[in-house]
Amino acid sequence: MDKKLEKALQEQIKNELYSAYLYLSMASYADTSNLPGFGHWFKVQAKEEHAHAMKFYVYLIDRGVRVLLQAIPEPDAEFASCLDLFEGALTHEKKVTAMIEKLCLLADEAKDYATLAFLQWFITEQIEEEKNANAILEDLKKLKAGPSAGLMMLDRELAKREG
């Protein structure tokens, strides 16, 4: 495997684990704000991000590359509101999309078609990730993100997420 691509894939494991940490931090804010549905949604999201990291891990191992884990930065811990949480989540998912697209460019430059095929799943996944975060963000904007019956209804809806 091209060394530049290998290094970037190793870094993506760290990035995906950071995403899991960030979403756990967001879950903690929601849980301690007495919004367990929001907390549940973010914990499921954290679990998904961990699974994404493991996909990269297994892929590298399958390609004969030893995975070298990197330090995970501390995530943000202060949030102003549920609106702030989802604005942050959408912004973060857009950053992850850009990271995946950069990996695709590196794989293309290296003519590593196996990695390009592997990354296609993540391209599709990022469309869903951005769509989901944006849909909730738009609902929160409609509610004006203040304490209301609507916010509580949305919280109960988020609690139903499978995971």
Q: Are 10 and 60 in contact (CB under 8 A)?
A: yes
Mean pLDDT for 129-144 is 89
Identity of the amino acid at 80? A
pLDDT of 12-54, one tens digit each? Answer: 999 999 999 999 999 999 999 999 999 999 999 999 999 999 9
Q: How many Å apart are CA 76 and CA 21, to the nearest integer?
A: 9
pLDDT band at 57 (very low <50, low <70, confident <90, very high): very high
Residue 143, pLDDT above cutoff 90: no
pLDDT at 146 over 60: no
- Check residue 117 and give its pLDDT: 98
Confidence of residue 76 (pLDDT cuts 50, 70, 90): very high
**How would residue 95 be classed by pLDDT, with cut points 50, 70 and 90?**
very high
Domains, the chain, with CATH or none: 3-159 (1.20.1260.10)
What is the C-alpha separation between 9 and 67, in angstroms, rounded?
A: 9
pLDDT bin (cut points 50, 70, 90) of residue 144 is low
pTM over 0.85: yes
Q: What is the pLDDT of residue 31?
A: 97
